[in-house]
């Protein structure tokens, strides 16, 4: 069968100065190719919707990937899905939709877009495995991971994302590795990505990862090393692991680092970790293996953070981060200012803690109610994706507080935020108003001591000194 995998465009298109290759969509395309199918890949967020005009018109199945494992999208991207589906309908017999919108709003999608044959619930590999077996989408009507108009009408289908299945059990030990040759690899920034695990063992109230992807599962250390070598062979010098929680298994981290050190692999890399998973010895080993950047979600002050399910103290965070930065690991911390439990005093404590920690990069968030999170279920607001004035609340990259019931709290957050901006600029931090700020680094590297803070999307790979 002939497949087309489409990484859907954002609107406006994501700035090219922050774009990495969409490894989540590429992994799907590689999985299809690995099972002896003809596959094409196109990244419309990099090249725009008009790039569809250069495609052939005889695909059996087009898979559209939107807001899947890499969360770059905004509500404006949703508003332009119709144009995308209309264009693809001229080139593919069947259109399947993949990602969080497909998972949590399948019936709305099918009602809105007659071109879409079905919405895949959760991770698409299980559905694709059945498709490779049966060769006909119409024979998948009993698979609980695909919602079609037929399954909607019969009313008997289970709404499940098969969270008990370990996707990595479908893969051989040494592959498949996401085939970057399917995309125009040189059209992205100099940091390239690996997703080496999925899901999370934590259940933070604001986070949708556990609800969407289930418990943490991971590729073998051998597969991770193979993918690192694959990227090096393509000319890569910097790698970002985009796993939601790279550090879940300390023994696995140790094994990966040992393999990198033993084989003398020259690579600089970064990852997203939890404070509770790391200690000084592990960080020291990560640094020896080339790690030069770690993202930690601190989120809020200690009292509020503990209510979320993030069980570490301010002292733990300060100790771990200060040690990492002392030995040369650049740290990004992320914070959510307007959590549902937030108060004016907790926001004040949060800003004070951010100043004490003084990570080289500070990412400030306003709350997003992500489908699949406990917060999303808790808050009473219109739970629809189309024709909804509150739709912006479910996307991560926002520039204003959540529509709280307390206008007094909202005003306090805004006022404290403006004060924080002035204080940080006074001590040498650079404020990043939007993604265009990063254009200046297209032709130069950041200095190791350059510091940034923002509510906008931040670039990977700056100041990573080997």
Q: Could you tell me if 122 and 161 are in contact, meaning their C-beta atoms sit under 8 angstroms apart?
A: yes
Neighbouring-strand partners of residue 160: none
pLDDT surpasses 60 at 161: no
CB atoms under 10 Å from CB of 328, counted, come to 13
Query: What are the boundaries of each domain within the chain?
Result: 2-154
Residue 154: is its pLDDT beyond 60? no
Is the pLDDT at 155 greater than 70? The verdict is no
> Is residue 153 pLDDT above 60, yes or no?
no
Cα–Cα distance, 263 to 256 (Å, whole number):
11
CA dihedral 308, 455, 239, 305 (to 10 degrees): -10
What's the predicted TM-score (pTM) here? Answer: 0.93
> How far lies 41's CA from each of 65, 115, 143, 197, in Å?
11, 20, 25, 23
What are the φ and ψ backbone dihedral angles of 414, each rounded to 5 degrees?
Answer: -65, -45
Band of pLDDT at residue 159, cut at 50, 70 and 90: very low
Query: Which tens digits make up the pLDDT trace of 291-326?
Result: 999 999 999 999 999 988 888 999 999 999 999 999
- Of 30-44, 85-99, 355-369, 434-448, which gets the smallest average pLDDT? 434-448
Of 78, 163, 173, nearest to 121 by C-alpha is: 163
Which residues does 282 contact at the CB level (< 8 Å), separation at least 6? 247, 250, 253, 254
- Whether 162 has a pLDDT exceeding 60, the answer reads no
Rounded CA-CA distance 397/434 in Å is 10
Q: Is 22 left (phi over 0), alpha (psi -120 to 50) or beta?
A: beta
What pLDDT shows up at residue 131?
Answer: 82
Determine which of 156-170, 196-210, 312-326 has the lowest per-residue pLDDT on average. 156-170
What sign does the dihedral 25-42-459-79 (CA atoms) show? negative
* Among candidate residues 296, 300, 285, 297, the one with its CA nearest the CA of residue 340: 300
**pLDDT band, residue 156 (cuts 50/70/90):** very low
**Mean pLDDT of all residues in the chain?**
88
Choose which CATH entry (3.10.590, 3.40.50, 1.20.950, 3.30.70) describes domain 2-154: 3.40.50
> In the predicted model, what is the mean pLDDT of residues 262-267?
96
Residue 442, pLDDT above cutoff 50: yes
The sheet with strand 59-65 has its strands ordered as 38-43, 2-7, 59-65, 92-98, 118-120, 146-148
Is pLDDT at 402 greater than 80 in this prediction?
no
Residue 141 has pLDDT above 90, yes or no: no
Q: What tens digit of pLDDT does each residue of 336-351 get?
A: 999 999 999 999 999 9
């Amino acid at each position: 069968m002939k497949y087309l995998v489409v990484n859907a465009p954002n609107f406006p298109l994501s700035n090219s100065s922050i774009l990495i290759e969409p490894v989540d969509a590429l992994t799907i395309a590689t999985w299809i190719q690995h099972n002896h199918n003809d596959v094409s890949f196109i990244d419309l967020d990099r090249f725009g919707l008009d790039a569809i005009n250069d495609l052939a018109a005889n695909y059996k199945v087009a898979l559209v990937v939107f807001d899947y494992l890499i969360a770059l999208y905004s509500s404006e991207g949703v508003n332009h899905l119709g144009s995308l589906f209309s264009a693809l309908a001229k080139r593919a017999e069947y259109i399947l939709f993949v990602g969080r919108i497909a998972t949590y709003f399948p019936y709305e999608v099918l009602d809105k877009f007659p071109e879409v044959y079905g919405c895949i619930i959760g991770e698409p590999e299980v559905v694709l495995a059945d498709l490779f077996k049966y060769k006909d989408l119409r024979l998948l009507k009993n698979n609980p991971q695909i919602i079609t108009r037929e399954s909607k009408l019969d009313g008997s289908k289970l709404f499940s994302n098969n969270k008990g299945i370990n996707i990595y059990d479908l893969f051989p030990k040494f592959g498949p590795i996401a085939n970057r040759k399917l995309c125009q690899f040189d059209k992205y920034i100099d940091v390239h990505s690996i997703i080496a695990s999925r899901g999370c063992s934590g259940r933070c109230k604001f986070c949708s990862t556990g609800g969407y992807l289930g418990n943490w599962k991971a590729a073998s250390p051998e597969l991770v090393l193979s993918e690192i070598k694959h990227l090096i062979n393509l000319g890569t010098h910097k790698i970002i692991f985009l796993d939601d929680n790279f550090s879940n298994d300390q023994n696995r981290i140790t094994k990966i680092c040992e393999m990198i050190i033993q084989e003398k692999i020259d690579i600089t890399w970064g990852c997203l970790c939890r404070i509770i998973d790391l200690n000084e010895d592990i960080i020291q080993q990560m640094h020896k293996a080339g790690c030069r950047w770690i993202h930690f979600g601190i989120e809020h002050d200690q009292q509020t953070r503990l209510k979320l399910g993030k069980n570490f103290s301010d002292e733990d965070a300060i100790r771990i981060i200060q040690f990492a930065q002392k030995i040369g690991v650049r740290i990004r911390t992320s914070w959510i200012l307007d959590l549902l439990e937030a108060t004016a005093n907790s926001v004040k404590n949060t800003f004070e803690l951010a100043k004490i920690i003084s990570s080289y990069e500070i990412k400030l968030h306003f709350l997003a109610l992500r489908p699949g999170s406990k917060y999303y279920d808790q808050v009473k607001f219109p739970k629809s994706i189309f024709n909804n004035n509150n739709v912006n609340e479910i996307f991560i990259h926002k520039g204003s507080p959540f529509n709280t019931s307390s206008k007094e709290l909202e005003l306090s957050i805004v006022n404290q935020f403006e004060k924080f901006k002035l204080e940080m600029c006074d001590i040498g931090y650079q404020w990043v108003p939007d993604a265009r700020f990063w254009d200046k680094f297209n032709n130069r590297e950041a200095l190791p001591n350059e510091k940034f803070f923002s509510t906008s999307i931040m670039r990977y790979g700056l100041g990573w000194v080997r």
